[in-house]
Structure 1
Amino acid sequence: MFPRLSLPLMTLLVAFFTPAMALAHSDMGGTGFSAGFSHPVLGLDHLLAMLSVGMLSAQMGGRALLSVPLTFVVVMLVGGVMGMMGIPLFSIELGISLSVLVLGVAIAFGRRLPTVLVMVGVSFFAVFHGYAHGQEMPSIAQPVLYALGFAAGTGVIHLVGVFMVQLFKQLKQGRALVRYCGAGIAGVGIYLLSGL
């Protein structure tokens, strides 16, 4: 399974990184694509949540491999629009920190969860992540390029999570290693919650 998946995954990673590199010098002060791309990559809370979505979808397999990350990205963009428009949303940092904890626990649990349930859960958390991206967007940013940037950055992190799980599954204790990673992510989630 891994050899067949690794080439498409690597191709997608290159496809996501290429626009970021091509546009890196055209953002006029870092307010477009590259600024949006770097936002989910550079924040630990966002990074771990996005990584968890990819890992959880790969752990579940089947149609969850595509539907769970895609659901997250689409709903995150909706949350981003809400943030840009200033639509009120409660407890943004709490929602983001909870996403790290809950997604980490789901990975550590290691049981096959219903795909629809996971899609609903990641949708809930995606609103908070998207809202934070949209709210923190510089006022002079190019909104469409910025949104494409944070969607692409999120997609790349999801792919890294999928790739990690596929790689770990090739190891003798790989499934346990994935679960340990989930427990570690959940631990960071607890730490983030304790700082609120």
Structure 2
Amino acid sequence: MELSVTQFLTLDGVYQAPGGPEEDSSGKFAHGGWSAPYGDDDFGAFMVSVFDRVDAFLLGRKTYEIFASYWPHHNEPGNPIANKLNDLPKYVPTNTLEQADWPGTELLHGDLVKEVTELKSRPGRELQVHGSGNLAHTLLAHGLVDTLHILTFPVILGTGKRFFAEGAQPTGFDLTDSRVTSKGVTISSLRKTGAPTYGDFGTD
């Protein structure tokens, strides 16, 4: 399986608590729910297209707990997102959770890089990460991410957790798809190509 990361970001790179104020108020973050006003048919269609390719999920512990408190209670027949989240395997790297009640969940307590590398070696299409900023940082730092879907929302917050933190492995990407929703969300899909290439504008 290939590993994809889908991340919601503000213009200044904040990923913290996009869906609601209760998601993550750490650091006295007061802007939770900043992505909610930008939902529309374009946004929904893109997310459905992402979930069409998934065979398993890899979720950070905080994101897992948010999803587990919501999606099992919204599993209407034919819901293309809820049905996938409820029916497919979910893997959660954690040092704190000892059990998980959401069916299909497996907790990973071993070496993260080794565990994820083994998951990627299994047959299937995509192992998907949604949100899970701290987990995504680690995956990027170890070169484990094959595809990034970055949804940039037209808002600046000035505070909050930033997604592209120092320590990521230098990596080049090709832009494979780009679109803008009716409410101004820029969606960029990028596929890893390897190490960055460099040049010099001062030469002929």
Q: TM-score range by the shorter chain?
A: under 0.3
Q: Could you state the TM-score of these two structures normalised by the residue count of structure 2?
A: 0.26
Q: Which has the larger helix fraction?
A: 1
Q: Which has the larger strand fraction?
A: 2
Q: Could you state the TM-score of these two structures normalised by the residue count of structure 1?
A: 0.27
Bigger Rg, which one: 2
